[in-house]
Amino acid sequence: MALTVVGTMAFDEIETPFGKSGKIIGGSATYIAWAASNFVQPVNQVSVVGEDFPQTELDALTARGVALDGVQVKKGEKSFYWSGKYHMDMNTRDSLVTDLNVLADFNPVIPDSYQGSEFLILGNLTPQVQMSVIDQLTVRPKLIVMDTMNFWMEVAMEDLLKVLKKVDLLMVNDSEARQLSGEYSLVKAAKKILTMGPRYLIIKKGEHGALLFHENHVFFAPAMPLDDVYDPTGAGDTFAGGFIGYLAKTRDISFENMKTAIIVGSAMASFCVEKFGTSRLKEVTHEELNARLEQFVQLVNFDIDLV
């Protein structure tokens, strides 16, 4: 029931209304791996880092059951670096610095030990890189999940549409869904996107939860109302990691089980935002996770007498 994760491992430097992080570890694959490893091991990591990426971070992931055979370490080069500043609403942010560094010419190589993974999640990378990973797999996974962003819709739409035909589930936010479909209504947007290839679609709405679409079915999961949100960076990737980690654990990709997986992903994301970077994810206990899942149940559970 192995899971393969493809994405970035990087340095972030974040400023929010609550403070500054300094230079910390980030990257889509990092957040996905920390979240997913709560449910499934091994997590087969595919990424690229520079010589400056701390060995202690790699060791911590290994101890967590994350396999690093697919992580390229480029000697004499620097890791991907992103710096951003969040506005007071914590939903909008300004990117201050983006240094691709080793990511500029990243060509992922899938090790033999990763072949046969039942689950694959493609983090937000160029569509060409995502396609390259799919093409290298000797056996098609049971479920392929893909993340993308508005930038690729603007500069690589043709390649993006080709990859969409190869995946089972697309994960985007509401503005990306609207841009990809050309529809403002998210229901109409979902219907259009589901004709492009994926059988399932998740539209993330940040602090307003997430929507799951499949054929004529729709499911909505709220986000946990929190006292403190210190850093939303990586929350979407943590959500994705919790979601696919739970599916890999249960090996059940039915619409009904995906509903539960979305709640699990939302619970993991609610931990992520409580501290800068991945620090909170490293601390989450099984008991804390179950307690938060119970809070979600209470949040959405109600009895009603039909009128």
Instruction: Give residue limits of the domains in the chain.
Output: 3-300
Q: Three-state DSSP class for 14?
A: strand
CATH code for the domain defined by 3-300: 3.40.1190.20
Residues forming a β-bridge with 120: 4, 144
Q: What's the sign of the alpha-carbon dihedral 248, 42, 120, 287? A: positive
Q: Contact at 8 Å (CB) between 156 and 128?
A: yes
Alpha helices (H) along the chain = 28-36, 55-63, 127-136, 150-155, 157-164, 174-181, 186-193, 235-250, 255-272, 279-283, 286-300
CA 203 from centre of chain: 12
Residue 91 pLDDT > 80, yes or no? Answer: no
Peptide bond into 42 cis (omega under 30): yes
Mean pLDDT of 160-173: 97
Q: What is the pLDDT of residues 182-233, one digit of tens each?
A: 999 999 999 999 999 999 999 998 888 999 999 999 999 988 888 778 888 9
Q: Which of 71-80, 148-157, 164-173 comes out lowest in average pLDDT?
A: 148-157
* Confidence at residue 228, expressed as pLDDT on a 0 to 100 scale: 78
20 band by pLDDT with thresholds 50, 70 and 90: very high
Report phi then psi at 207, rounded to 5.
Answer: -70, -5
* Confidence at residue 1, expressed as pLDDT on a 0 to 100 scale: 64
CB atoms within 10 A of CB 41: 18
Q: Three-state DSSP class for 34?
A: helix
Q: What is the pLDDT of residues 272-306, one digit of tens each?
A: 999 999 999 999 999 999 999 999 888 888 888 88
Q: Three-state DSSP class for 65?
A: coil
Report phi then psi at 68, rounded to 5.
Answer: -115, 15
Closest by CA position to 121, among listed 240, 272, 258: 240
* Confidence at residue 270, expressed as pLDDT on a 0 to 100 scale: 94
How far, in Å, CA of 254 to CA of 143, rounded?
A: 11
Q: Which of 15-29, 148-162, 225-239 comes out lowest in average pLDDT?
A: 225-239
Q: Contact at 8 Å (CB) between 65 and 43?
A: yes
Report phi then psi at 120, rounded to 5.
Answer: -135, 130
* Confidence at residue 182, expressed as pLDDT on a 0 to 100 scale: 97
* Confidence at residue 134, expressed as pLDDT on a 0 to 100 scale: 98
CA distance to 39, 212, 298, 300, per residue, from 303 (Å) = 31, 23, 11, 10
3 band by pLDDT with thresholds 50, 70 and 90: very high
Q: Contact at 8 Å (CB) between 85 and 96?
A: yes
* Average pLDDT for the chain: 94
